[in-house]
Structure 1
Amino acid sequence: MAELKKSLGLLQLLAFGIAGVVGSSWIYTNSLLFDSYGAGGVVLGLAIGVLLATCVALAYSELTSAFPRAGGEVVFSYTALGRRASFFTGWMLLGAYVSSLAFYVTAFGYLLGNFFPVFNTIPLYTINGETVYLPVLLVGVALTLLFLVLNWYGIEVGAQVQLAMFAAIVIIGAALAVTGFSAGSADNFLPAYHPGSNALADTLRFVIPSMTFLAGFGLVSVLAEDAKIPARRIGRAVVITVLAAGGFYCLVLAATAWVFPWEETAAMPLGTVSAFQAAGFPVLAVGAYLIAFLGLLTSFLGLFVASSRVLVAMGRARLLPEGLSAVHPRRRTPHVALLFTAAVTLGLGWLGPGAVVWFLDTGGVYLGLVWFMVVLSKYLLPRRYPGLERPYVSRLWFLPAIGALGAVAVIVWALVPNSGASLVWPAEYIILGVWLVLGLLLYLVARPRTRTDALQSLLGDSYSMLERGSLR
């Protein structure tokens, strides 16, 4: 089985991971978060969420160090739990990734529409109260095809583009943080909660939704086969991704509440953008909006690449058609999986944000299940292969379990009606059910490999180490 070309250095891998986590809308919608939870609830709740996500990342780190192969979670769950669990994990991961990709098709054009009214002309159709305009749709199609081209001849070009956008996000974020804390005042931040509110309750209420801010850190594991650095360093990059992205969020949000009274920002339409504009820093306000554009592009590119690698892994194990695992003999790129990713992205993206938001909201459930399966794999792998040598094992063995409990809480909170974050009835419950049923049908019609053949295809050179571990 041909392997992907190893092209990514540590910086490029971190750029895909961190920039893939740092999304778009949080920078201009945090006024709503301040209004709901208070500035203290948002910043401290997010910090707790970062710690919980880091606990899950420790499990990713261990498993990625042992098996640096394309598809990450698919490989881990097949090795530790078997074919059924691996299909379930991969299918949930694809559901989360594809939902986000479809949303990004029209999201960039709608952002542009805030500055250039021409993008909000030539209406095509309306779904769930949102009108899809021709220029918006054309921009999304062009971006999708551009990302396909960037990765068609190798991930190197896409990685350099990602690194450049990542650097710009970091520079702008640093400028916001430095200016916010130097020119602002603690009086703008304190008191950090609404008068009469329960500070502890507001903080804890934001912990679970804050974990969805960090959902993309698994990109590092998914892209491990593309990396040309030692497996142990790839594993460390997973944890670095969570801490760096979480730290970025906390700094920018805290600076937003520091530079201008957060209770006034809570009543403004554009969060950080409005806060820095009102504080007398219009250039930084534009910079904050630029983070939204760049964050959308980096997330789009990162998930586009990652989705193709998940498809490769599932094809290798024949969890999906084997043709998806094809690697071009000269370029060593997953050309079939890339084409399939582009087709699915465009196939759903035309629905527009009104309908795609239904898919997007179910992504938290999918990712919570994936996190749980990865942590479960981490604990069961040593029992199945007691002699397996792992490059990295966390001494704090209990921490991933704490993160898994947080993931389960995300799922329960989303599924229980009237919980404050429950799925929209009936559309989102139907989408969740249809995705599960479609996955079950694909699983039943697939032509399975034997476990040995599947593991050899999934693990490549790592299989010999696994075989030795089972014999001890």
Structure 2
Amino acid sequence: MVLLMTELQKRISFIGLVALGAAGVIGTSWIYTNSKFFAAYGAGGEIFGFVVATVIASLIALAYAELSTVFPRAGGEVVYTYVAFGKTTSFIAGWALVGAYLASLAFYVTASSLLLAWIFPQLEQGPYYVIAGTKIHLPELIVGIAITLLVFLVNYYGAHLASGIQIVMFGTMIVLGLLLVIVGFTHGQASNFWPAWSKDMNPFLSTMRFVLPAMTYLTGFELVAVLAEEANMPVRKIGISVILSVVLAGLFYTIVLLSSAWVIPWQETAKLKLGTIDAFKVAGFPALGWAAYFISVLGLVTSFVGLFAATPRLILSLSRAGVLPQTFTKTHPKYGTPVNALYLTLGFALGLGWLGKGAMVWFLDMGGFAIAIAWVLATLSLIKIRKKYPNLRGAYRTSATLLPLIGGIVAIIIAIATLIPGTPLSLAWPYEYIVLGVWAIVGVILYAKAPKGNEEEALKNLLGEYYEAIKKASD
């Protein structure tokens, strides 16, 4: 039986939190789409673009690192923006992230069978239907639903279980990545990589053009802050976990991609179908090609697990703030998980997932805009909270707010770029604009129907034991 409980259990270790964050950032498609990116931007454009994007994301992560130690509560941005700007801004930040995370989760329902179909082509046979020009076969939908239910069960039985599994999968990814790097650099040569751009490419412009898509590959570190309430460690380590998540993911991307440009000429990789996977096969290391494929599979699963852990915590936090029904504050008496919010997340994922990969690309692009908005609001919240409560200090403190602000400015540029036609991140007309508009309208309706409760009580529910720190800082 599920009882009304409002506190989550502190059962995630430091390594588990870093694994949830870093492995949640490392996705699946980057390792086989680098052939396309090498062709468009040169190996140097993609690899150095990732370096620049990692620096920018790290600057944004500084804001999360500090705020997560001041308010280590479930929900991350929901809490920070409520303290800084109040209920309305808090709902905007939370609703934006919920939309972004649900878009990814729904995408994984059928995308999870995409990689398996490379080995089991039978999954793409049999009865099917077509949405957005993409066939969804019944076998791949069934497999996707089964994987989704498995990910749900992992998270149902506790964040500590999810983090434990994440540690194993992330460790495996690191080992496989190191094998690619060692073989790539010992059997390849620098002349395969350099010059890293074609003669018709401008190195600076090619690199800068890839920074925007690279930023989307580095999203996910904010889920460390969302899960902070369940971290069983000194508070300072939560902030360190946020930064480590970004840095480790960025290094992993950069070094593995560089090894694929080192082992054979990157111009050849640019002509291959599956990027790094095919590059090592062409170089004479078919087993390592499969290792790269397995990294892609693990990246999908770890992102699936991480986002399925974070989304219910955002819903719980919005419920604590009084803008979603109070039923979503319920947690399981034994496992300490936000069980009703988990069921809602499962319902959304399966309810949208049947639309298939073609339609879900619309949702994913909308999610990129939503995450950029959340990043902007997080950096602004840091500045506002420091000004509003100058004596309030967390266990981790950024030396200057200028650094996160730089990251926030870049996030604003990303958000604007998605709305302006003709940029690399422009939303596709009209479908993606419709999806964004519908999600915004649903949010407005929910917010309008939310009970007009006492905002001070909502703040107390959000902050829990840290509410007194705010009161003292206000005196």
Match of 2:73 among 69, 92, 109: 69
Tell me if the contact between 2:78 and 2:93 (Cα under 8 Å) persists in the aligned partners: yes
Cα distance in 2 for partners of 1:313, 1:94 equals 11
SS at match of 2:364: helix
Q: Indicate the residue corresponding to 1:439 in structure 2.
A: 443
SS at match of 1:217: coil
Cα distance in 2 for partners of 1:420, 1:155 equals 36
Superposition pairs of residues 366-377 of structure 1, within 5 angstroms: 366-377=370-381
Tell me if the contact between 2:170 and 2:302 (Cα under 8 Å) persists in the aligned partners: yes
Q: Indicate the residue corresponding to 1:304 in structure 2.
A: 308
Q: Indicate the residue corresponding to 1:149 in structure 2.
A: 153
Give per-residue Cα distances to partners, 1:75-111, cap 9 Å, x unaligned. 1111111000000000000111000000000011111
Superposition pairs of residues 59-458 of structure 1, within 5 angstroms: 59-458=63-462
> 2:7 aligned with 1:3, yes or no?
yes
How much does 1:45 deviate? 1.0
TM-score (norm 2): 0.98
Please say which of residues 425-434 and 393-402 is displaced more in the overlay: 393-402
Cα distance in 1 for partners of 2:274, 2:128 equals 27
Residues 397 and 420 of structure 1: is their aligned pair in 2 closer, same or farther, counting only changes over 3 Å?
Answer: closer
What amino acid does structure 2 have at the position aligned with 1:415? L
What amino acid does structure 2 have at the position aligned with 1:63? L
How much does 1:243 deviate? 0.5
Give per-residue Cα distances to partners, 1:215-252, cap 9 Å, x unaligned. 10001101111110111110111011101100000001
Give per-residue Cα distances to partners, 1:134-179, cap 9 Å, x unaligned. 1111111111111222222322222221111111111001111111
Cα distance in 2 for partners of 1:68, 1:439 equals 26
Q: Indicate the residue corresponding to 1:29 in structure 2.
A: 33
SS at match of 1:460: helix
What amino acid does structure 1 have at the position aligned with 2:356? G
Tell me if the contact between 1:387 and 1:468 (Cα under 8 Å) persists in the aligned partners: no
Give per-residue Cα distances to partners, 1:319-369, cap 9 Å, x unaligned. 211111111233322110111111110000010001111101111100100
What amino acid does structure 2 have at the position aligned with 1:369? I
Please say which of residues 110-119 and 286-295 is displaced more in the overlay: 110-119
Cα distance in 2 for partners of 1:60, 1:202 equals 30
SS at match of 2:222: helix
Please say which of residues 329-338 and 57-66 is displaced more in the overlay: 329-338
How much does 1:186 deviate? 0.5
Residues 354 and 123 of structure 1: is their aligned pair in 2 closer, same or farther, counting only changes over 3 Å?
Answer: farther
TM-score (norm 1): 0.98
Misfit runs of 4+, over 4 Å: none
SS at match of 1:392: coil
How much does 1:71 deviate? 0.7
What amino acid does structure 1 have at the position aligned with 2:275? G
Cα distance in 2 for partners of 1:384, 1:448 equals 25
Match of 1:461 among 458, 461, 465: 465
Please say which of residues 157-166 and 81-90 is displaced more in the overlay: 157-166
> 2:49 aligned with 1:50, yes or no?
no
Tell me if the contact between 2:209 and 2:424 (Cα under 8 Å) persists in the aligned partners: no
Cα distance in 1 for partners of 2:335, 2:270 equals 50
SS at match of 1:126: strand
Cα distance in 2 for partners of 1:410, 1:328 equals 39
What amino acid does structure 1 have at the position aligned with 2:230? D
SS at match of 2:218: helix
Tell me if the contact between 1:208 and 1:406 (Cα under 8 Å) persists in the aligned partners: no
Cα distance in 2 for partners of 1:420, 1:83 equals 33
Cα distance in 2 for partners of 1:153, 1:243 equals 29
Tell me if the contact between 1:388 and 1:470 (Cα under 8 Å) persists in the aligned partners: no
Which runs of 5 or more structure 2 residues have no equivalent in the other structure?
none
Q: Indicate the residue corresponding to 2:24 in structure 1.
A: 20
How big is the alpha-carbon RMSD for the aligned residues of Structure 1 and Structure 2?
1.0
Cα distance in 1 for partners of 2:101, 2:152 equals 16
Tell me if the contact between 1:389 and 1:465 (Cα under 8 Å) persists in the aligned partners: no
Cα distance in 1 for partners of 2:224, 2:162 equals 15
What amino acid does structure 1 have at the position aligned with 2:354? W
SS at match of 2:182: helix
Please say which of residues 406-415 and 291-300 is displaced more in the overlay: 406-415
Cα distance in 2 for partners of 1:128, 1:330 equals 43
SS at match of 1:274: helix
Cα distance in 2 for partners of 1:46, 1:151 equals 31
How much does 1:117 deviate? 1.4
Sequence identity, in percent? Answer: 46
Please say which of residues 154-163 and 398-407 is displaced more in the overlay: 154-163
How much does 1:66 deviate? 0.4
Which runs of 5 or more structure 1 residues have no equivalent in the other structure?
none
What amino acid does structure 2 have at the position aligned with 1:399? L
SS at match of 2:135: strand
Cα distance in 2 for partners of 1:283, 1:228 equals 39
Give per-residue Cα distances to partners, 1:15-64, cap 9 Å, x unaligned. 10000000001101110010111011111111001000000000000100
